[in-house]
Chains A and B, each alone.
Chain A
Amino acid sequence: MELLVASAVGVMTAAGIYLVLRLRTFPVIIGVSLLTYAVNVFLFASGRLAMDMPPILRDGVETYTDPLPQALVLTAIVISFGMTAVVVIIALGSWLACDDDFVEAVEQHDPRTSSADPAPRGQDAA
């Protein structure tokens, strides 16, 4: 269980960081989403992993899991969801205004990167 959760957090963080370092906004946004998933799982585990224990008071139950991380995760999910929506909208606006979706302004298109990229600009609207 611990191994599963820990490796899930690690793999998602690694993939997220790799994607965040890409040039175009779409993979970067996917990377940020992966990082927020990773941090949500991490926060969830910060109250220790407990199986089959309820977080709220109930009759006839002796042991409980920590309810606070669950509240924190809910908050974090809502915030990251909203933030992702905001960044998607701003990135769309930037793509429409600048005619490309590079995160960093590229003055002159380097022929090497644009030929290596499978989706030339204009076609990734779909």
Chain B
Amino acid sequence: MSHWMTLPVVLPAMLAAIIVLSARFHMSLARTFSVAGTVALALVAAGLFWRASDGTIDVYALGNWTAPFGIVLVTDRLSTLMLLLTSLLALPVLLYAIGSGWDKRGWHFHALFQFQLMGINGAFLTGDAFNLFVFFEVLLIASYGLMIHAGGAERLRAGVQYVLYNLLGSTLFLFALGTLYAETGTLNMADLAERVSMMGPDATAGIRVASVLLILVFAVKAAVLPLHFWLPASYSEAPGPVAALFAIMTKVGAYSIIRFYTLVFPPDLEITQGLFGTWLLPAALLTLTVGMVGVLGARRLDRLVAFSVIGSMGMLLIAVSVFTETGISAALYYALHSTLATAALFLLVDTVRERRGGIGARLQDATPIMGGPLVAGLFFAAAIAMCGLPPLSGFVGKLLVLDAARDNALAVWVWAVVLSTSLVAIVGFGRAGSQVFWKAHQVAATRADGTERDAEADVDNAPDPEPSPAALPMVAIGALIAGLVALTVAAGPIKRTLDATAAQLFAPEPYITTVMSTEGKDLSGYGHGDEGYGESAGDDGAHGSSADDTSDSEGH
């Protein structure tokens, strides 16, 4: 049992505490700690990814309590992949926050950033459903702080909506967990998988309710259509680097759907038949449509990118809800791509917003911004990736999704919606990009002529406060774009890894047996060991909630 796999949770937690307690008034110290910690996190994640890349599943029993009784952390291909993605996203975002000075505009940016990473990593690592809830709360409470970082009336109002919506989501999650526990008597995911598969065809009402409640909760996190209302306002009002980091948060929802519905409720389970084909796939198609129409209709650049997040989640969930190995593999590729692409777009929007002065991100005429050609070029690349045009990874991702959906009953719909929304997205991004970057030159030319002076635009267009923009933000955005290019160039090897990941997800027996057979302390030999307290662990689990049923003893 290697202790390394606790580091993605423990390291950010410790660092955040150190930053709050001792580096509070020393910005350079806090920045050093934060960057060093994130680099170390990336190295640890890469190590864990390498270890899991031959199919090894590692289990870490916290407090050395064996699986159904204690909380376990599990690393397999999927969780280490998501860990690696998180740390590779976090590093450029952190560099951008430092380079653009966002971290100085409010308190505790770095501590909250580390807590957020702790929550995200924990959610990817945990093998326990209630612990997943706890890590969701950790990442949410850090995100509340980050969301309203640097304050401002509009941001605070969007923050209230964001917090309230997520509080309701958490309440729903608790209802789902309560139902799940009442039906199965356990919350360990591997144990749940065993007990759910043992359930007979009758008396499944409770577990059906639980599975639908769970998918609702994860749909809130993943911003699936009827539950997406929290996303546009909060992502567009959040500070640029925070919105970029939030790009991984919707993927936490998608990850949870993939994890739960391959492990606990596998696709061949009779109880959850129709959940994906009948409900999630149409919802995902609607999500994609509304997201991309939102891109076309947005009147501000930041809202445009926020709607493109919704659209990309729709695309991801189309691939998930096909629910075959090729579908999950395509979904994972699209998740990697869209995380990097949306993060790059949010950082670019922030750059544009900062440099345009009073007019901000509104899609109106303004004079050219400082360093326009570079920003425009990066925006062009990121938009191409986001719309799914060749040659960048969005095209590969879209192709994989279309290919995976070919045998589905709704294949015609999937192809029609995906291809037509691509066109809508291209028009939307093209309109926004030409308004911001090209029309600016025309505006500057007419102003130089002295004709048609727009008094209002003049007031809005305050001169750029910074004479020479810093290089670090551009490096950070460039790194994300480089990630997209790497994802395209190395698409073959990455696809093979993802195929193996999907294959591992669709054969959950090794996961279950590894978790359930890990050695450690159990309840026998404790206190009244000879009074038969340890016996009930083996009784029939499906409805085993007799008064002395033993299950997890989670000491939160």
Contact = CB atoms under 8 A, between A and B. Distances in A.
Interface in A81-116: 82-84, 86-87, 90-91, 93-94, 97-98, 103-105
Given A79-B134, A80-B167, A90-B163, 8 more contacts: A28-B164, A47-B181, A48-B546, A64-B548, A65-B547, A66-B545, A86-B163, A90-B156
Nearest to A99: B153
Given A75-B134, A98-B157, A47 B182 contact: yes
Among A35, A78, A83, A86, chain B packs the most CB atoms within 10 A around the CB of A83
B348 interface: no
Contacts of A84: 167
A93 B178 contact: no
Interface stretch (B144-152, B216-224, B403-411): B144-152
A66 to B, nearest CB: 6
Contact of B159 (A29, A64, A78, A94): A94
16 contacts: A20-B164, A28-B164, A35-B168, A43-B178, A53-B547, A57-B527, A68-B181, A68-B187, A69-B178, A72-B178, A72-B556, A75-B134, A75-B554, A86-B141, A87-B163, A90-B148
A94 B153 contact: yes
Nearest to B161: A103
Given A57-B527, A71-B553, A71-B554, A83 B181 contact: no
A109 B521 CA distance: 63
A75 B554 CA distance: 10
Nearest to A83: B167
Nearest to B145: A86
Interface in A15-56: 20, 25, 28-29, 32, 35-36, 38-39, 42-43, 45-48, 50, 53
Nearest to A40: B174
Among A64, A72, A86, chain B packs the most CB atoms within 10 A around the CB of A72
Contacts of A87: 160, 163-164, 167
A5 interface: no
A52 to B, nearest CB: 11
Contact of A46 (B134, B179, B555): B179
Contact of B178 (A20, A39, A104): A39
B161 A47 contact: no
A82 B163 CA distance: 12
Contacts of A29: 164
Given A75-B556, A94-B157, A98-B156, A35 B171 contact: yes
B105 interface: no
Contacts of B152: 97
A91 B533 contact: no
Contacts of A42: 174-175, 178
Contacts, number: 135
Contacts of A14: none
A84 B137 CA distance: 12
Nearest to A39: B174
A71 B163 CA distance: 25
Interface residues of B, number: 46
B164 A75 contact: no
Contacts of A7: none
Contacts of B148: 90, 93
Contacts of A28: 164
A29 to B, nearest CB: 8
Contact of B130 (A32, A35, A75): A75
B160 A25 contact: yes
A55 to B, nearest CB: 10
Contacts of B171: 32, 35-36, 38-39, 80
B553 A67 contact: yes
A69 B342 CA distance: 40
Contacts of A36: 167, 171
B3 interface: no
B551 interface: yes
Interface string B230-252: 00000000000000000000000
Interface string B76-108: 000000000000000000000000000000000
B556 to A, nearest CB: 4
Q: Which 4 A-B pairs have the closest CB atoms?
A: A94-B156, A97-B153, A46-B182, A46-B178
Contact of A74 (B153, B167, B556): B556
A32 B167 contact: yes
B160 A91 contact: yes
B26 interface: no
A50 B140 CA distance: 34
B38 interface: no
A76 interface: yes
Nearest to A71: B554
Contacts of B134: 75, 79
A94 B152 CA distance: 8
A72 B141 contact: no
B153 A68 contact: no
Contacts of B547: 48, 50, 53, 63-66
Contacts of A47: 181-182, 545, 549
Contacts of A105: 154, 157
Contacts of B177: 43, 72
B120 to A, nearest CB: 17
A10 B554 CA distance: 28
A87 B156 CA distance: 11
A78 B174 CA distance: 13
